[in-house]
Amino acid sequence: MSISSALEINSQQTDIETLIFHATSLEAARKLTLSTEPRYVRDFKDHEVDAVHRFFRSIRVSVSRTAIRSAIYLGRTRENRRVGAVFSDEPCVYLVFPHMEDRYDVYVERLLKLVVIPAFEEALQMYDLPRVPGGVQRAAPPTFRTKKDQIRGIMCHHEVRAYLGEDWATIETTPWHESTTASRQQIHRLAWENMQKIIQSSNNKQITIFKDMQLLFLVPQVGHSVVTDFNGPSSGGDIAWTLREALSLYDQDLDPEHLEEGKVMYAGEFDLGKCRDQPMTTSGSQTFSIRDFFRK
């Protein structure tokens, strides 16, 4: 008798670990906390570099592993929900530059000072203010920070708000939250368009290295598990069902209209009938259409 015929699969546990989204605009972020730290903040892990490289190949975008490893962290859509676990379940925003084969903090400084900060400054002068009773003032622009600021403990991030004093914690309970959301999304769109315009129109070698930039949203540790008992009532079953459930956790963070292809990394554990104390583990990744999975 063969092993495969002697052992029975009793249950399966699927863990959704990492999500990667390719975005067409910063509008994909419903809210954005912009990093203004003049250094690399969070590097891609080795398995993330491999996954992003496979992902780009699948959509026929030529980007080397070295360029992916040099990606610059731009911010995140919200704080992590796990206490003491920064860069875990929150969607992180990255820019990948196909022509940037070296990795130096000076590139982060140049990107912020010459591209990102000016793009947001202009966007914050161009957007339409939300309709709030009594009127509101335009939100303050981000400020370029230096390494000395960082050493002195000065805050090196900027929450992109639709108006001065907007409270993210309570805005959705107000009658003007839709108008506010629309204004915030407009800021994100204008800033992204301004960034592209600055880079594409420049002959400055300090800026042209950023041409053909790719925008990614990455969730480092989703931490969503589903167990299927093959000997009991069905609890969902296939990987697509599990992925849909995991993606629903990000409905308030990401706008699928501005997301294209994506990749999910997952691990699966199978308990076998005759060796329950030694579960068999496998892992893999799957490319998917974002709109299909976000659509209910």
Give domain status of residue 24, yes or no: no
Question: Do the Cβ atoms of 220 and 48 come closer than 8 Å?
Answer: yes
Give domain status of residue 241, yes or no: yes
What is residue 295's predicted lDDT score, i.e. its pLDDT?
43
Nearest to 166 by CA among 127, 140, 128, 191: 140
Spatial distance between the Cα atoms of 221 and 18, rounded to a whole number of angstroms: 5
What are the pLDDT digits (tens) for 249-269?
888 899 989 998 777 776 666
Nearest to 29 by CA among 214, 216, 264: 216
User: Where in the sequence is the domain holding 272, given as residue range(s)?
Assistant: 3-15+222-294
pLDDT band at 15 (very low <50, low <70, confident <90, very high): confident
Question: Do the Cβ atoms of 191 and 74 come closer than 8 Å?
Answer: no
Nearest to 160 by CA among 29, 33, 25, 38: 33
Give domain status of residue 282, yes or no: yes
Q: Which of 115-129, 138-152, 209-223 has the highest mean predicted lDDT (pLDDT)?
A: 115-129
**pTM metric for this prediction:** 0.83
Distances (CA, A) of 197 to 89, 107, 219: 32, 18, 28
Spatial distance between the Cα atoms of 91 and 84, rounded to a whole number of angstroms: 16
Give domain status of residue 244, yes or no: yes
| Cα 167–chain centre separation | 22
Give domain status of residue 228, yes or no: yes
Give domain status of residue 147, yes or no: no
What is residue 275's predicted lDDT score, i.e. its pLDDT?
46
Give domain status of residue 238, yes or no: yes
User: What does pLDDT average to over the chain?
Assistant: 83
Residue type at 18? T
What is residue 12's predicted lDDT score, i.e. its pLDDT?
67
What are the pLDDT digits (tens) for 105-120?
999 999 999 999 999 9
Spatial distance between the Cα atoms of 278 and 3, rounded to a whole number of angstroms: 15
**Overall average pLDDT of the 228-238 stretch:** 58
- pLDDT reading at 166 higher than 60: yes
What are the pLDDT digits (tens) for 52-67?
999 899 888 899 999 9
What is the domain count for the chain? 1
Give domain status of residue 67, yes or no: no
| Cα 104–chain centre separation | 22
